[in-house]
Amino acid sequence: MKKFLVVGCGGSGAKTLAFMMDQLKAELRSIDPDLTELPKAWQFVNIDVPLEEEAGPQKLPNVTQNGGHYVGIGSRQNYNTFDEGVSSILGRSGKLGEIATWATRNPATNDVKLADGAGQYRAIGRMLTLPHLKEIRQALKDAVDEMFTQEAIQELNRLNYKQTKLDSDTGDSQPVVLVVSSMAGGAGASMFLDVCRVLTTIPNVNPQGTLVFMYTPEIFSDNKADDMAGAWPNSLAMFGEVVAAQMGNSSDHDRAVFEAFDMGTPPEGQIFSRIFPIGSKMGTTSARFGDGSAMSIYRGLGRALAGLMASTKASDNLVSYAMTNTPAGDAAAASSAGIAPRVEPHGVAFPGVRSAMPRCRWAAIASPNIPPSALRVVPSSASSTGTSTRKTPRPARCRLPRSWRSACPMPSAPSRSILLGRMAGRSTAAACGTGSTACLAVKPSRLQTAPRNTCRASSP
The reported pLDDT for the residue numbered 119 is: 61
Which helix or strand (DSSP H or E) is residue 407 part of? helix 402-407
DSSP string, 67-131: T-EEEE---SSBHHHHHHHHHHHHHHTT-GGGGTTTS-S-GGG---B-SS--TT-HHHHHHHHGG
What is the distance in angstroms between the CA of the first residue and the CA of the last residue of the chain? 53
Closest to 74 in 3D by CA, of 138, 35, 125, 25: 125
Element counts in the chain: helices (H) and strands (E) = 17, 11
Tell me the C-alpha distance between 98 and 194, whole Å.
14
The reported pLDDT for the residue numbered 370 is: 72
Apex CA 24: angle with CA 315 and CA 200, to 5°? 55
Tell me the C-alpha distance between 190 and 153, whole Å.
34
In the chain the domains, ranked by start, together with CATH numbers, are 4-356 (3.40.50.1440), 369-457 (no CATH)
Let me know: does 271 contact 245? Beta carbons within 8 Å.
yes
Tell me the C-alpha distance between 249 and 369, whole Å.
62
The reported pLDDT for the residue numbered 373 is: 66
Q: What is the DSSP letter of 249?
A: T
The reported pLDDT for the residue numbered 256 is: 92
Let me know: does 420 contact 395? Beta carbons within 8 Å.
no
Apex CA 259: angle with CA 255 and CA 265, to 5°? 55
Let me know: does 52 contact 25? Beta carbons within 8 Å.
no
The reported pLDDT for the residue numbered 418 is: 42
pLDDT in tens, 251-310: 898 899 999 999 988 888 889 988 998 888 877 777 888 788 889 999 999 999 998 998
Tell me the C-alpha distance between 353 and 304, whole Å.
5
Tell me the C-alpha distance between 407 and 443, whole Å.
10
The reported pLDDT for the residue numbered 412 is: 41
The reported pLDDT for the residue numbered 149 is: 94
Residue 3 half-sphere exposure, CB side, CA atoms within 13 Å?
Answer: 25
The reported pLDDT for the residue numbered 111 is: 77
Rg of the chain, C-alpha, whole Å: 27
pTM of the model: 0.72
Let me know: does 362 contact 435? Beta carbons within 8 Å.
no
Alpha carbon separation from 262 to 103, 165, 458 (Å, rounded): 20, 48, 70
The reported pLDDT for the residue numbered 420 is: 43
The reported pLDDT for the residue numbered 188 is: 84
Apex CA 17: angle with CA 124 and CA 365, to 5°? 130
Query: What stretches in the chain show pLDDT beneath 70?
Result: 115-120, 226-227, 322-363, 372-460
Sequence length of the chain is 460
Tell me the C-alpha distance between 357 and 363, whole Å.
10
pLDDT in tens, 322-372: 666 655 544 444 444 555 444 433 333 444 445 556 566 666 777 777 776
The reported pLDDT for the residue numbered 17 is: 96
The reported pLDDT for the residue numbered 186 is: 73
Tell me the C-alpha distance between 187 and 192, whole Å.
9
Q: What is the DSSP letter of 339?
A: B
Let me know: does 54 contact 48? Beta carbons within 8 Å.
yes
Map residue 195 onto helix, strand or coil.
helix
